[in-house]
A and B are shown apart, each in its own frame.
Chain A
Amino acid sequence: MSTPATELQQDGYITADGRKIGSVMMDLRSITLRFGGVVAIQDISFDIRQGEIRAIIGPNGAGKSSMLNVISGFYQPQQGEVWFLGKKRPPLKPYQVARQGIARTFQNIALFQGMTVLDNVMTGRLNHMKTGWLAQSIWLGRANKEERINRRKVEEIIDFLEIQSIRKTPVGRLPYGLKKRVELARALAAEPDLLLLDEPMAGMNVEEKEDMSRFILDANDEYGTTIALIEHDMGVVMDLSDRVVVMDYGRKIGDGTPDEVRNNEEVIAAYLGVPND
């Protein structure tokens, strides 16, 4: 079973818990990414569909984060095409990708440590602000109204992620688990169509993981956000995601529903190892 059979209807499918998954949102076709002589990603193709939670898993160094960086536009693959919403995506700067409706969180938290939670989440609204810096700095006319609309949206997300009590706390003073949640808040504040999460549960205790899982599911349910995530915790991945891509040494070794992937021999071998004889 080298290429796991995931038969997909052209116009989506119904998940185990009864959600409707739409058509292909992002299509990655034969992506190859090299750093000098090192091949990080080797001829990988898969798609992400509207409304689904898609996981990318694999051992350390498998190329998961590189894959996410290709999706987010941070890396340009040497070969292959990225199709987004039915159009082939030309090489873009990361901020241009963000404008297309893709937001992300980072493996090692990238927040403004000295700013409050509220201000950090506000930065996520940048793409929704249209007034110039001059109008904003003297708080004039449209800038004022715009700030109020955006603040309202940010407050809704703060409420959604239950971080009201730390609204005015500088991020640097927060414990790790909460910082992760603030990062998620910032990404959600951008109201993305596609949300990329790079190891959202790394370093968390069981309770924090459960909270985070709930928020990810709720965000998918409440805002209809499509989510692609990288995660090491197999239990979490299998519970959360609708479909899973498995990578090993830059190659795709499995793709399908959690159950299909779990029974894939190559996947088992990559994770547990195989006897030599």
Chain B
Amino acid sequence: MTTHIQTSASGLTDDRPSASGLIVDRRELLAGAAALGLSTAFAGPALAADTPKKGGTLRLGMQGGSASDSLDPRTYADSIPIAYSCALWNLLVEIDAKGNATGELAESWEAKPGAVEWIFHLRKGVHFTSGKEFDADDAIYSINLHRGDTKSPAKDVLSPITDIKKIDASTLSITLSGGNADLPFVLSDYHLLMFPAGTTDFSKPDGTGAFTLETWEPGVRVVLKRKAGDYWKPGRGNFDFVEIRYIIDAAARTQALMTGQVDAVNRLDPKTTNLVMKNPNINVVRSRGTGNRYAFVAHRDTKPYDNADVMLGLKYGIDRQKIVDTVFSGFASLGNDHLIGPTNKYFATDLPQRPFDPDKAAFHFKKAGFSGPFDLEVSEGAYAGATDSAVLYQEALKKSGATLNVKRVSGDGYWSNVWLKSAFCAVYWGSRPTADLQLSQAFLSTAAWNDTNWKREDFDKIIIAARAELDDAKRKQMYIDAQKMISDDGGMICFAVSDYLDGYSKKVKGAEPHARYDLNDERIAEKGWFA
């Protein structure tokens, strides 16, 4: 387990002939040499002489935060808090560009057979800003912030942990209630930052990260200052200052980037991305198929969605390609009614993509004896483009003789008032680091966020068994079976998996696509440098 990530190991391709803006594509990167061969013209200069150098102020224009943002890790839910927190602190485990778990403050780990008991070896010689050396007590304290009686959103993923013990100052043992081969991925959750043991006041950050907090004005800006001396990760932490500007309006963000008022932005509007790419000073980084999964979810225990034929009609009746092309301007992959993204290694490639087939949909509606009206509740508060997607869905369903009423509701309070309560509504699911988290959080009978009320014992069994399965081939087959069950029988119409779209000034280096989040896993502050 090495921590240093090969920042130059990425392939750079441009598969959009019209664009002079550079597009970096992760899927083709995974495809290996063939893809690289096709794109040497672009890959050559970008790969050459990419040695990080120090200095400069990175100005980031970001969406995904508000004046209510806090420094308390138990409240994080959006991009900006993730971005500043991982510049100030570190996690035990980091996710590399390809989606593997690599060590951060944990140097290495091993699982006892059955993957119930785990040993983590912590990195020695890493110090907090206050000068204290990071050790096992800190790690235990920090993880326990999210266990037991806590408000933390990470409580759910940590619930299988039954015990955390210190073996010595730099060794930790974690015991689970059942086997889970993915524990390192669980520990890469962005909430699980490492604090000095006993920290209760998070407003005065004392972290092991590359930066210290210079200005804290949530909703306006956050300024980070590089710590003196060498950062413990070689080649990282290069900018003297990083200034995160809150720019919530997508058009304002794009404009700020194009006119050079910021050096990088997240969440480009897919509709204008093609136009942004025409700007010769801008580098658009596209992380394909790692973004949000956009879906409409129906409660399988509620009429008429308890009828399997109604569900199939709704699934065949949606024109996914049209939505991807118009609402997301092609910057998305087709969804196949489950949540595993096309770049995940357990993605069910042999599960055929569900086509748009109005006749088949009409057949199923007829068999069910019901073709609407269906009431679909949507909101831009669920995700940008939900309303437009629903309107196109409504149009497409007309072709199979079904009626859909699109009911737009307030984005304000959507997650507490509509989602999980409405029988048919819009939802997005973020990318999770593992197939297990991705599926179990949404589809297990016992899951708190099972938004389709779909409950099947045989499915639960597969997921639990796959967790502890260490034979990768067997494990893959289990996940494929699980995906098939959800796709055929579940209540989710997942029609698109979006791409992350970052915009960078060409002078920003280290701007790569990442398997998990945008802006290089929200770590561009730590990973980037100026040419």
Query: Does B bind A?
Result: no
